[in-house]
Amino acid sequence: MKHFPIFLAVAGRRIVLSGGGDAAMAKLRLLMKTEAHLTVIAAEVADDIRKWEAAGKLRVIPRAMAPGDALCAALFYAANEDNAEDARVSAIAHAEGALVNIVDNLADSQFITPAIVDRDPVTVAIGTEGAAPVLARAIKADLEERLPTSLGVLARIGKTFRHAVDVLPMGRKRRDFWSSFYFGAGPKAFAQHGATGVIPALETLLDERITARQTTGHVDLVGAGPGDPELLTLKARKALDKADVVIHDRLVTGDILELARREAIIIDAGKQGFGPAMQQSDIDALIVQHALDGHHVVRLKAGDPTVFGRLDEELAALDAHGIPYTIVPGITAASAAVAGIGQSLTQRGRNSSVRLITGHDTKGYADHDWTALARKGEVAAIYMGKKSARFIQGRLLMHGADPATPVTIVENVSRADQQIIATTLAELEPTLTQAKLQGPALTFYGLAPRAAQITAQSLKEFA
């Protein structure tokens, strides 16, 4: 992010613009929506600018800009449509302390003006850092259609009512009140009675919420997928948007946590194999307590919560306290990783089933049916297999597995720094030792990356 989005207070402050042509008028149409004092400086200005001056919307200084013209200005726009003149006036404005924007010159501007959807006081700013103005306009057009024109009226009236709503506790109850107003009672009252009907609707709604019985919260047990936020399900994103509390595991990425509400309490309940970890009983207690406090809780787990996620223990704790919950499945690390190597988990003539296994459990290294796994054509996705690689390798070879069986390790599945390592069962442990993997990794036994498999087959046929 090269430009940090902020909303600058300009009411009663100066905004100065140098230029009087089409570029100047385009900026002025937007700036006249503010409560700033506008000054236009140009030897010649368009007729529309003269009309705006006559209407008292701005002041015109009919000459070229000179030192002192930008003093006390919050913002300055250079819109002369002449590179040399824009550079000259920008230097003056810089020296006099104004933030400077040069129209159509992103590199030399201190700030940019985004595309804006105006439902005053609700304002949506859309920026692409100058990379794709067409995309910004398309998003603006879409939002213009989605946001009703009454939204601004409802927001202005709602703002006057905010102190009255302070009687409701922070969090879910207060948020539910405003959600009911903006998306239910408010638009309905406005449609039926106009602006005069909105305050009575607010008062009625507040009375209902004050007298309503305190309810238990709700828990969403959400699969965060393998790491790429674009692989989150729509239902998972909606859950994060509603959450008062997010309790996440160690493998949930920062990019996904960024999608949670800014006001949400974020709790790291991470566990680490063979390392420090929060006890499962403590996690259960956290989830239960926040739900009993009336919060909307999201228990966020990497991948899918039903795969090696201790889901049953958390559900038992919720059932014991009568807390309602929803399970939101996610894309498993195995599904994302196998897509990354261009393979399928099952294949006719090779394997009709696939095993999802773990390299270790709460008691240490996990034991499995090694004889069955060692058979030719078997495929397994091994979770938490980095530190147990030597144990897994030894058990499989001991039970007759072919040392040449392909093995693929995928580190940081689906993320920008994903790494794919192809090896064989015989070389598994030394390969992992040499690779020195730092991120979470998933191991595929019996699968090679598609490109490597095709190359191996070609060499075999050639031989």
Closest CA to 282 of 293, 271, 294: 271
pLDDT in tens, 23-57: 999 999 999 999 999 999 999 999 999 999 999 99
Q: Is the pLDDT of residue 443 over 90?
A: yes
Residue range 218-331 forms a domain whose CATH class is: alpha beta
**Cα 421 to Cα 115, 337, 392, distances in angstroms:** 45, 12, 17
In this prediction, residue 180 carries a pLDDT of: 85
Domain definitions of the chain by residue range = 14-113, 151-211, 218-331, 335-461
- By the 10 Å C-beta count (0-12 exposed, 13-18 middle, 19+ buried), 87 is classed as middle
249 is catalytic: yes
For residues 11 and 392, what is the distance between their CA atoms, to the nearest angstrom? 68
For residues 337 and 411, what is the distance between their CA atoms, to the nearest angstrom? 9
238 is catalytic: no
- pTM surpassing 0.85? no
Give the residue-averaged pLDDT of 114-118: 86
Catalytic residue among 271, 293, 387, 402: 271
For residues 40 and 58, what is the distance between their CA atoms, to the nearest angstrom? 7
Pick one of 2.60.40.420, 1.10.3720.10, 3.40.50.880, 3.40.50.720 as the CATH number of 14-113: 3.40.50.720
For residues 222 and 325, what is the distance between their CA atoms, to the nearest angstrom? 10
Q: Is there a common fold for 218-331 and 335-461?
A: no
Give the residue-averaged pLDDT of 313-328: 95
Extended beta strands in 121-268, E state: 122-126, 218-223, 245-248, 265-268
For residues 80 and 90, what is the distance between their CA atoms, to the nearest angstrom? 11
Q: Domain 335-461, CATH 3.40.1350.10 — does that match?
A: no
Average of per-residue pLDDT values in the chain: 89
pLDDT in tens, 145-192: 888 788 888 888 888 888 888 888 777 778 888 888 888 888 888 888
Catalytic residue among 69, 249, 284, 304: 249
In this prediction, residue 104 carries a pLDDT of: 86
